Chain A
Amino acid sequence: MIEFEPFWLTFKLAFFATVILFLVSIPLGSWLSKKGNIAKTCVEVLVSMPLVLPPTVFGFYLLVAFSPENAFGGFLDHWLGLRFVFSFGGLLVASVIYSLPFMVHPIQSGFSSLPPSLKEAAYSLGKSRWDTLIHVLLPGIKSSLIAGVILTFAHTVGEFGVVLMIGGNIPGKTRTASIAIYDEVEAFRYGNANVYAVILLILSFVVLFTMYWRNRRTQQVRIL
C-alpha cells in the first residue's frame, strides 16, 4: 500500500530545516568569511564535522543526548516539556545540525568573494548596517544563497542514517520517504519500494529544476 504521508513529512522536514538554516547561516557565514583567530577556525571545523562523521555516529550521540535520562534531554523534558527522541522536532534539530555545512559553506564563500569596497561605499552613503545587508550584500551573493538553499533542501530530503537512528519509524511523525523505501526493500516488497523511489525522484527533480530554472541567469558562483 502506497502512502503519501512519508513524502509530505520529508518535504515538510526539508522545508523547515532549510528556513532555519537560512536564517542561522547568514550571520554565521558572514562572521566566518572575515579573517579570524583560532576560535574561528574551531567553529569552521565544527560546522564541517557533519561532512565527515558517519550518520550512525552522529545519530547515536543525538539519541543519547536527547534521552530524558541524560542531563541535556532531561533539562529539555523537565523545563521546556520538549522530547526530542522519536519526534518531528528531534528530526528537525538533527537535520539542521546535519545539513549545516551545506548552507554555511556557499554563503561563507559568497561573502568572502564580495569586495570590501561594496560595504564601505554603502556605509559612506549613509546606509545602516541592516540596510547594507538587505539591499547591498545579500543581493550581491544571491547565487550563493540559492546554492545553499538547494543543497540544504536536497540533502535533507535524502537524509537517511540519522533519521533511522533517532526517528523510531513512527507513521506521520518520523517515517520519512527514505525510511519508507528502506522498509519496503527490507520486506522484499520491491514493487512498492520502486514506486516510492520513483515518486521521490520525480518530486526532487521538479523542485530542483524549478530552482535552477528560475536562476539560470545568476550563476557567478557554481557550487554544484
Chain B
Amino acid sequence: MGTKRKMLSSTFALFMAMAGHAQNKITVAVAANMQYTMDALKVEFKKTDSTEIEVVLGASGQLTQQIMQGAPFDIFVSADTDYPAKLAASNFAAARPEIYTRGVLVLWSVKPGVQLDPTLKNLVSENIQHIAIANPTTAPYGKAAKALMEKYNIYDKIKSKIVTGESITQASQFIATSAADIGFTAKSIVISNQMKGIGHWIELKEEDYPAILQAAVLLKYGQENRARESKKFYDFLVSPPAKEIYKKFGYLAK
C-alpha cells in the first residue's frame, strides 16, 4: 500500500512538474517539407532562449484546417502564402503573415538515361512515360511546375503523362522509387541527407515560374496564451541567423 501511494504521489509530482514546465513551451505547426530546416532552426534558437519549441508536422492545407477548427498552435509556418493569408482573413492571425523564405523548383530523375533540360523539351520524348508533380491546386511546388510547363507550351502535350502526388513529399516519393521517370520537386528535398546523391537534378530558372514564397503567421492563440515566447520565435524566423539556415537547406533568402 505504502509503495503504491508513494508511486501515485511521485507520478502526481511529475505531472505537476511537467505542467509547470509547459508554461515555457510553444507549439509551432510546421509544413512537412520544412521538417529538417525546423530542426536546425530549433537548435539555433536554443542558443539564446530557454523556450521549448514543440513542432507539429503536417501538410500546410491540413494544418490550416486544424487551426480553423481550434487547434492549439501558437505559430504556423506554412509552405506557401495562401494558407496564412486565409487564416489572417478568417481572423485567426495576431499579425500580418511574414514571408520568411523562398523555395527553389528542381527537375529530378533517378533513371540513368533521362536527360534534364531546363526548357523541358525532352518531356515529350517516348522514354518518359510518367512525370510526377505535386497537386497544382493545393501545393505551391505543383503550382509552380504547372506554370513552368505552360510557359514552355508543353503542358497540353504531356498532360496525360502527369501523375499527381498529394504533396511535394509524395511527388518526390514517386520519383525516388522511379515509379515516375522524372518529376518536379523542391531543392530542399534533393539536397537533404535522405536523398543526397540519389539520381540527378537541375535547378530551374527562377524567372521561369512564379516565386514559391513561404510565409509564417503568429496565431491569435499564441498571442493570447504565450505572447512573449511566441513573438520571440516568430521574429527569429526572419532574423539573419535563420536566413543562413534557410540557405543551407536549399531555399533562397527571400
Using a CB–CB cutoff of 8 Å, the interface residues on chain A facing chain B are 60, 63-64, 66-69, 83, 85-86, 164-166, 168-170, 182-183, 185-188
Contact = CB atoms under 8 A, between A and B. Distances in A.
B129 A83 contact: yes
B179 A63 contact: yes
Interface string B206-217: 000000000000
Contacts of B40: none
A34 B163 CA distance: 45
A140 B150 CA distance: 61
Interface stretch (B99-107, B130-138, B187-195): B130-138
Contacts, number: 62
B138 A63 contact: no
B174 interface: yes
Nearest to A62: B179
Number of chain B interface residues as a range? 20 to 34
Given A83-B129, A168-B164, 19 more contacts: A63-B173, A63-B174, A64-B177, A66-B179, A67-B178, A67-B179, A69-B110, A86-B130, A86-B179, A86-B180, A168-B130, A168-B132, A169-B135, A169-B166, A182-B166, A186-B62, A186-B135, A186-B137, A186-B166
Contacts of B65: 185, 188
Contact of B174 (A68, A69, A168, A186): A168
Contacts of A165: 170
Nearest to A83: B129
A218 B39 CA distance: 60
Contacts of A69: 110-111, 177-178
Contacts of A86: 130, 163, 179-180
Q: Which 8 A-B pairs have the closest CB atoms?
A: A168-B163, A169-B164, A69-B178, A85-B179, A67-B179, A186-B138, A86-B163, A187-B137
10 contacts: A63-B173, A86-B163, A164-B166, A165-B170, A166-B179, A168-B180, A170-B164, A183-B137, A185-B65, A187-B61
Contacts of A168: 130, 132, 163-165, 174, 180
A63 B130 CA distance: 14
Nearest to A179: B166
B88 to A, nearest CB: 15
B163 A67 contact: no
B61 to A, nearest CB: 5
B178 A169 contact: no
Interface of B: 59, 61-62, 65, 86, 110-111, 129-130, 132, 135, 137-138, 162-166, 170, 173-174, 177-180
A187 B143 CA distance: 13
A164 B170 CA distance: 9
A182 B59 CA distance: 13
B65 to A, nearest CB: 8
A67 B130 CA distance: 11
A86 B173 CA distance: 13
Nearest to B171: A168
A69 B113 CA distance: 12
A190 to B, nearest CB: 10
A186 B170 CA distance: 15
Contacts of B166: 164, 169, 182-183, 186
Nearest to B130: A86
A67 B177 contact: yes
Contacts of B59: 186
A48 B162 CA distance: 35
A187 to B, nearest CB: 5
B110 to A, nearest CB: 8
Contacts of A169: 135, 163-166
A185 B111 CA distance: 34
A67 B163 CA distance: 14
A67 B65 CA distance: 34
Nearest to B160: A170
A54 to B, nearest CB: 15
Given A66-B179, A168-B174, A85 B61 contact: no
Given A63-B179, A83-B129, A187 B164 contact: no
Q: Which of A60, A68, A186, A187 has the most CB of B within 10 A?
A: A186
A166 to B, nearest CB: 8
A64 B110 CA distance: 13
B130 A187 contact: no
B163 A63 contact: no
